[in-house]
Amino acid sequence: MSSTDDLSPDDTRCADLGVRRHAFYRHAFYETNATHAIQRDEIRKIGGEVMRFLAVGSLGYVVNFCVYLGLRGRLSPGIETTRLSALLVGFVVAASTTWVCHRLYTFKGAPRLPAARQWALFLGSSAIGAIVYTSSVLALIHAWPVLKQIPALAMLLGSGGSAIINFTLSRLVVFKAHRSIT
């Protein structure tokens, strides 16, 4: 019986090299593989959340833009507000719409906080994204006056930066309880 008969194939390769692996190394190897599997599952889960978040965000963009056009008099003649007011009202309506969709779809596994509390928390965390969004849109329109004629483009560009902030805050603050760390 050779000295390598009781070794696994990996141990045999190590023995051929004159190295004997220890049991703790094998355990660490399998533990590392399990950790990587958990990490892959978490990445897939986050990827799904990002895709759902972006789909819901697209709906929010449409709602925001329609409210904006309505308040600026393009959809309802006779009603016209300032650009800033239209942006802010559009944001609140769109954020409320997206909160419902995130609660029911994007983060559907989250334990439910009372609706009013979670809505307020969502709007509060979204306010940070709204500051980025609103200031970006106004800065873009100011920098490139042609965007006054095509506000949808300025709004779309402003939505990009706020989407990153809003997803992070939604996942880590508003809907954080849905994640279980194992």
CA distance 77 to 177: 45
* pLDDT on residue 177: 55
Nearest one of 42, 85, 68 to 159, comparing CA atoms: 68
AA letter at 18: G
Question: In tens digits, what is the pLDDT along the chain, a chain of 182 residues?
Answer: 555 455 555 555 545 454 445 555 554 444 556 666 778 888 888 889 999 999 999 999 899 899 988 888 776 666 667 888 888 899 889 999 999 999 999 998 877 788 899 999 999 988 888 888 888 889 999 999 898 888 888 888 888 878 888 899 998 889 875 444 43
Distance of CA 10 to the CA centre of its chain: 42
CA distance 177 to 72: 39
Handedness of CA 146, 150, 153, 154 (dihedral sign): positive
Handedness of CA 80, 83, 84, 87 (dihedral sign): positive
* pLDDT on residue 110: 76
* pLDDT on residue 179: 46
Q: At 132, list the tokens.
A: 């980025």
Indicate the length of the chain as a whole number: 182
* pLDDT on residue 105: 93
Nearest one of 137, 110, 138, 128 to 166, comparing CA atoms: 128
* pLDDT on residue 34: 60
